[in-house]
Structures are given as structure tokens and as C-alpha cells.
Structure 1
Amino acid sequence: MKRGEISFWLTHPGAPTAPPTQTLARDIDCDVAIVGGGLSGLWVAWALAQVRPELSVAVLEAECLGFGASGRNGGWMSAKQVGVRRALARGAGGAKAVTDMQDRLASACNEVVDILGADEIDARRGGWTQLARSASELRRAENYVAESRRWGLDESSIRMMSAEETYERIHASGIVGAIHSPHNYCVDPVKMVFRLASLAIDAGAAVYTGARVTNIEPGQLTVGPHRVKASQIVVATEGYTAAQPGQRRRMLPLNSSMLVTEPLTQDQWARVGWDHHDGVSATAHTYFHSERTPDGRIAIGGRGRPYRFGSRTDRNGMTDEATVRSLMQVIEDLFPGLGARPAHAWCGVIGVTRDWSPFLDYDSAGQVLRMGGYAGQGLTASYLAGLAAADLLTGRKSFLSTSAWVRPVPRRWEPEPLRWIGANGFYLAYSLADRLEALSRSDRTSRIARIADKIAAR
């Protein structure tokens, strides 16, 4: 079994070939410099070419395309709510701005597939299904759907399924019900990044890899011995933002781990019954997400080791044995006796703001735009954020440039060691809450989890 090596999507024998990029070997000038060559940065580059094709755009990626969360994620592109509604509703647009953006998410998924091409990114539409496997999980699921109704989502967008209907979609053990939404595609993350990079390059953007930005000033970036002068700068570094000078507490690099199994046999898949292309997750506090890959594997993700002291990040996705055992135990718990075997495990970081919600913060005086904070919903959110960023940079007033996501960077995270204690302590609390709820027949959410939610501002 492999561990690390960035991700399965990037390194398996059938992985796609990256489009040709450039090496920064001299000082350059450009109209817009974008720090970060993940989905956010690439969508900004592509979107700028659609509205102002005459602008010169340089994308500066510290590693290789697909190195960060954009190439390590679980492959869900859904219309799930991005951010915390009540936090976003505090903005000038209020609740209406939140519901308007929420409505935009479903069409965004389809637009991305139309732009990139379903076959190019292995896009499979099946929706997402969130399993409930205890009385307390079922009640939380019902409350989630009820809250979604209050925020304007009708039956066609999200609904409850009975245990019987859920079992028809997936033969997981202990099902008592589920949430289902039709708005989700499962995709190959690296194919998505590479395809978008190709389109951005074809549209005129210069994409540099191995171009680590070490200093950001208004109008100028430092990349090794070279200077990049730009009229405008976009910082789209998500979970790696904390590595920048003065930004250590802006975004929490929350760890997320992934595992793919060896391909299952036809008999094994018959037992699993996962015939639709649903992304499948849980209503437990210690959340997992999963999909069936085109080559017949189970890909599953969870938290693993939640946070490293000092906002440090992993080394090329290396995971520990405990995380592998934990993710395999989830599969065994869902499908007892299945006999699945692990093939490749890795991890990465997602960028989380203190209020768990996205932002586009544009300093028009300094001509610097900072963006991110999708907290795990980046495949869809990065597209809309990229369009919004292009409108902000070019002075275009639009629905997206005035949306609920356009707001100042939220307040900073707590200093160490409080940050480490809190991030890891919350995960332990949620794990304990799950164990207590499993032993109880009550439909009430554990008090431990309720307190943790309140402190975490979730």
C-alpha cells in the first residue's frame, strides 16, 4: 500500500499528464499576478480572460499543478451550502444575499461540467446522500433539511429518504434514513485541475510552477531571486496561507485524509449496491465522505490528524498508520465482511476561516485581493469565487461581485497553543459524542457536541 506521494489522483498509473507550464527565470511585469495555482487561482485566470482578454495574467504555483487541496480532495462537486449561513447573513445583503448565493451553487456545478467537459474530468452525476445510522443522527438529518427549507431550498433540492429508499441506493449497515440532494458530481480532481489549467493557458495566462512567492507587497512579489511586478495581485493560497509572513492566524490549515481501496470485484460491488454515482457521507459528528471511482474502488475521506501545531502542513501527503486503520474501519463498519483492501492513503489541508465561511477581500487601494475559506466545498466554490474575483478586479458590478462572499477576511484564529488545543480538542469531543450517541437510544444530540459546535462557531 502507498502512503503520501501527494495523492492517488496524481500518481496512479493511469493519471493524466499535466499541461506544459513555465519556469520563472527572470523578472517579469504583468497586469495581474495570482499567487497559487490551485482551482481558485486558475479560475481567476480563466475568468479574467473571458471579460478582459487583453490583460496579461501570471499564475505563480509554488509546487506542481495539483499539489494542494485541488489535487488531493475526494472529488465531490456539489451544491451543498458553502460556509455558515448565519455568519454570512451578517453582511450588508443579509439573509437574501445568502439564499441568492445558495441558489447559484446548483447551476454552478453544471456550468463547470459544461466548461471543462464531462469526459475530460470523469464527471458522474448522482447527487449526494448523507446517511443516518442512529436515532440522534436521523433527528439531526431531519433538522438539517428543515433548516434548509427555512432558507428556501425545496424538495427538488434536498429531501429526506426512508431507510428502505436509502438501502436501494447503497447497502450500508444500520441505515435508518438519509438526506439526499441531486446536486452533486463526482469528478477526478487532478483531471479537473489539469483541464482548467489548459484552458487558462490557451486563453493567454502564463502559468509558472516551482515559483514559490516569499514576499507580497502592493504591486510586487518576490519569487526566489526574481521580482514580479503587477498592477493587481490575487492571493489564492487557501490552506497554505499561514506560511506567508503575518498570515499565520488568518486561515487554519485543517487536515483532511483520503484513502482509496484496491478495485472491488463484481461480487463485492453487488454486496455494496452502490449502483448510482452518489457521493456518500455521514451525519455522525466525525464526518466522512466517499465515492465510487470509475475503476471500481471506494475512495473515502475523513479528518485523520486534525491539525499540526503552528499551522504546519504535511510532507507530500504522508499519512500515519492510525489514519489508514481509521478510514478502513469506516468501510468495514459500513459494509461488514466486505474484505476491501487499502491501496493508497494521503492527506492535505483545507483553508478554514474563524467563522467557517468564504471571503473575497479586495483592497482597492493596494490592489490586492485575498480569497478562500471554502472549508471543504472548494470544487464548486472556487469557480464562483473565481468569477467574482474577475469582476472585482475589472470593476464590473455583478451579482457575484456584490454577493455575501465579498467581505473582509474574518477575525483571526486564536494564538498557539490555544489553536492546537482547540482544533484537536474539538475532534476528540466529536469522537466522544459519536460513541456516547451510539450507546444511547435517544434522538438527542450529545451535549458535548452541542457545546463544541457553539465554541467552534459552526
Structure 2
Amino acid sequence: MTASLDAPGRPASLWLDTLPASLRTRRPALSGDTRADVVVIGAGFTGLWTAYYLTELAPQTSVLVIEAEHVAYGASGRNGGWCTTEMPALLANLVQRYGPMDAMRFFRAGQRTLDEIERVLAAEDIDCGWRRDGSLYVARTPPQVARLRAWQDMRLKLGITDMTLLSAAETSERVGIAGALLSGFTPQCAAVQPAAIAAGLAQAVERRGVTVVEGTRAIELRPGVVVTDRGTIRARSVLCTTEAYTAGLPGHARRVLPVISRVLATEPLPEQRWREAGWRDRVTVADSRHQFAYFQRTADDRLLVGGRGSGYRTGSRPQAADRSGERVYARLRESLAESFPALADAPVSHRWSGAYGMHRDGEPGVVYDRDSGLGHAGGYGGEGIALSNLAGRTLAALVTGVKRPETRLFWTGHLSRRWEPEPLRTIGVRGVSALATAADRYEDRFRRTAPLAGAVMRTVL
């Protein structure tokens, strides 16, 4: 194994730490003033997918992608490795705000996105350990059972029939998670090595003529111009795809909230340990708490667990550690032990954090103004591996003016209101997180729904 791509002193992401040598390309910084038809800021999933589809829709367009650190430095190399568009909370909000037809149109587009990602991975020969065994959403208390059944009822009313409810016995036959009362299985998820997708995409767009530069930080954006610490770029279109890192750009501090999420992974485990845990394939697993935990069996047979709390650092700084870190890691370890007792003593090799972007209304958005040439996409709320592909297709179509079904989805042109100024932002985010944690503790202890918790959290957005 070669050295990790993570910055010195930063907890190493499993994905960046184990990235194959063939994908560890380091690129030079911008070497002075330049021009391009389109400049994309951020070499994560959204920026690279946008560049990829620009080469398909307008092959003669010159595209320059700039990255402050290196490809996959942010959420693209630091997430939980679920490629899914299930979006249970978002789907319910879309039904309420836009009606069932628009909600369903977006949901179906998301489902087709998994096929599209799989197509590109095959076409570009990107090995990311793709395994489409689906997801299992597990309820372990009566309130969790009620929420799971309500989610299934909503899906059935919308005509979504691909989730199967499994009894406790049926759940155990699929995965031996302890204490399951009910679960819902959906085939719409793939387990992946996300940094390999981003790194492979970067090489793919370069083969198609896109220029990708690293170590080049944008410090000012305006129509037709990006000022960086390495030179000024002039372009017809300027696209911001920095997701949780958007707050670092002047004038954008309140547009996207960076939510810090944490993950840990064990050492590779022998097959006998997996048989003891009753885990035969790579179906992804999540519990149904408010502050839920999610699990993945990686391609190299590690157990990965993430979630169980969201962090925020005053001033919307996505890289900064917050005080909740050690508590969240402890809860993740507890979740591993209580959910898979046979693996409770598995040694942990990696633990890391990453930040995903949230808009104030909880909805993602893709925006492009043809007059100014300015555009942006993001706010995926933790579902960025799949939604970034759909966003990249949408943004590329808007820039090139090509009529595509993606541009008719609700998120085209969607502008969320901005987050509150500090210290209200910090107080609100940490308050909601504390309320969710308290509600989970109440439900775990008393086996009934926490008073007012659900109603309060539904009114936050």
C-alpha cells in the first residue's frame, strides 16, 4: 500500500488510504492566467460528472476543472460508500411540497441513475468494487416499526412497489442483525469504493480532453471570471460544485450547511466471522433511529459503520473537528456491538469524518443562469454518490442548452433560502441534533415514541 492521500494529521479515510496506486494521480496546479469555455470548481463527484457529460453533449467545449486540494479530497473520498437514491425523508417532503407526480418523477430519475452510473463505470473501466445487493432498513423498536411501515405505506400510495417488508425471521435469514422486529428490503443500492469512482472519473475526463488541476483554490467568482491563488481564469460558464465546502467562498457562507458525519471501519475479517454474523452478501444495512447507524461489508471484507450523530462547527467549516466527535465514535462502536454481537470485538483500523451539504429547505438544487453563465449544484443531504451523477447530467444539459428530461425535474433552478447567521445557525443545528439523540435514547429505553420529537423535527425545515 502506498501512502494515504489524506492530509498529514487528518484521520485517514479508508477509501483514500486503500486507493490503488493506478488511481493515485497527482496533478499540477494552474500555472497562471488562462481561458476555457467552462470552468468547474471542485473535483469531487458533482464537478467530475458535470465535466464528463459536457464532453458527451458538447465534445468541442473546452472544460477546466480546478480543485483546491486533490481529486476526491472532500465527501467523494470520505463518505459511507452507499450509492442509493432511496431518500426516505426527502421523498416525503417532495410529495408535500410539489405533489406526487413531481415527487415520483424525481424518484424514478434517481432509480435510473444507478443504471447510468453502472454503464459509465463499465464503459470507462473504473473498478470501484460495485456490488448492487440492495439495502435492508431494520426496525428494532416499536416506534421504528411504525416509521418503517409508514414509509412503506407512502411508497405504495405512490406506486413504488420495490420494497419488501421482512419479518424478524426473514430478516435473520438475510442478515443476522440482532434484535430486528421488522425490516424493509429494497434493491436500489450499490456498495462502492467511492474514492475509486472519483479518481477513475478524473482520469476518464482527462482522456476526453478535460484539464484537471489540483492545488488551485478559487478565491473569487463572478460572471466570466474565477480568481484563484494561481491565476485568473476567464470562461463563458463558471460552475460551482463544491457542496459542503461552498461556505469557504466569499459571499456563500450561508448557502450550504456543512454537516460533519463520522465513519469507522474494522480490519478485514475472515469469512468465518461473516458466517457467524449471518452476513452472506454485501447488502447495505441501516437501522431506523432518528440518528441512525448504517453498515456496509466492504469489498475487502471490512465492516464499516457510520452515522449516529451529525456535527457542525461554528462558521460552517467542513474540515474542523467538533466536540461531539469522540461521543459519536463511541456510539458507532456501540451500534456495531449491539447490531452484530459476533463482530463486537473486531479491531478498528480506520475512523474518519467527512462533510456533506444541506440546503436550508432540505432540498438539493441545480441552477444555471444563461445570462451570467453562473451555475451551481449540491445540497444532497448525504445522498451525493448517486444524486451527483443526476446533477452533473442536469447541469451539463443546462450549460449546453440540450433538452433533456433531467432539466424538467423540480430541482432545476431551485434556490433555497439561506441559513441563519451565526450564532443562530450553530444553536439551531446543534439543538436539532441533541433533540434527535434524546429521542432515540427515549425510544430505546421506553420502547415508545418520544413525546413531541417527531413533530418538532418535522417543523425545522
- 1:256 aligned to which of 239, 257, 261: 261
- Inter-CA distance 316–414: structure 2 relative to 1 (3 Å threshold): closer
Give the C-alpha shift of residue 315 in structure 1: 4.9
Q: Aligned match of 1:109 in 82, 100, 114?
A: 114
Q: More deviation in 300-309 or 365-374? A: 300-309
Is 2:370 the partner of 1:361?
no
CA contact (8 A) 1:75 1:186 kept: yes
Show the counterpart of 1:327: 332
Report the RMSD for the aligned CA atoms in angstroms: 2.2
- The question of whether the paired residues in 2 share the 8 Å contact of 1:28 and 1:228 is answered with yes
Q: Tell me how far 1:243 sits from its aligned partner.
A: 1.1
Letter in 2 for 1:421: I
Of 347, 357, 366, which residue of structure 2 is paired with 1:351?
357
Equivalent residue letter for 2:52? W
> Aligned in 2, Cα 1:164/1:146: closer, same or farther, shift over 3 Å?
same
Aligned counterpart for 2:156 among listed residues 149, 153, 158: 149
For 1:437-456, list aligned pairs within 5 A.
Answer: 437-442=443-448, 445-456=449-460
Partners in 1 of 2:201 and 2:455 — Cα distance?
Answer: 41
Larger displacement relative to structure 2 (426-435 or 112-121): 112-121
Task: Check 1:177–1:305 CA distance in 2 against 1; reply closer, same or farther (3 A cut).
Answer: closer
**Structure-to-structure mapping, 1:213-362, within 5 angstroms:** 213-304=218-309, 306-315=311-320, 320-336=325-341, 338=343, 339-362=345-368
Match of 1:26 in 2: 32
In structure 2, distance between residues paired with 1:294 and 1:427: 32
Q: Secondary structure at the match of 2:117?
A: helix
Q: What residue identity is the alignment partner of 2:175?
A: I
Write the letter of the residue equivalent to 1:71.
Answer: G
Structure 2 gap ranges (5+): 1-5
Match of 2:393 in 1: 387
Are the structure 2 counterparts of residues 83 and 16 from structure 1 closer, same or farther at C-alpha, using a change threshold of 3 Å? Answer: farther
Partner Cα distance (1:12, 1:71) in 2: 11
Moved more, 169-178 or 98-107: 98-107
Greater relative contact order: 1 or 2 (C-alpha under 8 angstroms, separation 6 or more)? 1
2:426 alignment partner, one of 420, 426, 434: 420
Instruction: Give yes or no for contact 1:253–1:312 (8 Å, CA) kept in 2.
Output: yes
State how 1:54-69 maps to structure 2 within 5 Å.
Answer: 54-69=60-75
Structure 1 unaligned spans of 5+: none
CA distance in structure 2 between the partners assigned to 1:290 and 1:217 by the alignment: 42
Conserved 8 A contact 1:239-1:254: yes
Letter in 2 for 1:257: R
Task: Give CA deviations for 1:230-262 in whole Å, capped at 9, x if unaligned.
Answer: 001111010011111111111110011111011
- Tell me, what secondary structure is at the counterpart of 1:310? coil
Deviations 1:92-144 (A, max 9, x none): x7532221121122221122112113861110111011110011101110001
Structure 2 residue matching 1:331: 3-state secondary structure: helix
Count of residues paired in the alignment: 451
Distance in 2 between the 1:173 and 1:88 partners?
33
Tell me if 1:127 matches 2:131: no
TM-score (norm 1): 0.93
Whole-angstrom CA distance in 1 between matches of 2:322 and 2:121: 26
Structure 2 CA distance, aligned partners of 1:86 and 1:124? 27
Which secondary structure state, in structure 2, belongs to the residue aligned with residue 62 of structure 1?
Answer: coil
Query: 3-state SS of the aligned residue for 1:40?
Result: helix
Structure 2 length-normalised TM: 0.93
My pick for the range that moved more, 413-422 or 346-355, is: 413-422
2:191 is the counterpart of 1:189: no
Distance change >3 Å, CA 432–CA 82, structure 1 → 2: closer
Q: How far, CA to CA, are the matches of 1:60 and 1:382 in structure 2? A: 17
What is the SS of the residue equivalent to 1:291? strand
Cα pair 1:132 1:283 within 8 Å, conserved: yes
CA contact (8 A) 1:78 1:184 kept: yes
Tell me which residue corresponds to 1:7.
13
Residues 1:255 and 1:290: Cα distance change in structure 2 (over 3 Å): same
8 Å CA contact 1:433–1:448 kept in 2: the answer is no
- Cα deviation for residue 61 of structure 1 reads 0.7
Residue 3 of structure 2 is matched in structure 1 by none
- CA–CA separation in structure 1 for the residues paired with 2:363 and 2:391: 12
Cα 1:37–1:130 change in 2 (3 A) is same
Tell me: CA distance 1:38–1:59, structure 2 relative to 1, closer, same or farther (3 Å): same
Residue range with higher mean Cα deviation, 2-11 or 274-283:
2-11
Deviation readout 1:419-439 (Å, 9 max, x if unpaired): 111111111111111111122
Paired AA for residue 133 in structure 2? G
Whole-angstrom CA distance in 2 between matches of 1:120 and 1:56: 27
Shift in CA distance, 398/317, structure 1 to aligned 2, threshold 3 Å? farther
Q: CA deviation at 1:448?
A: 3.7
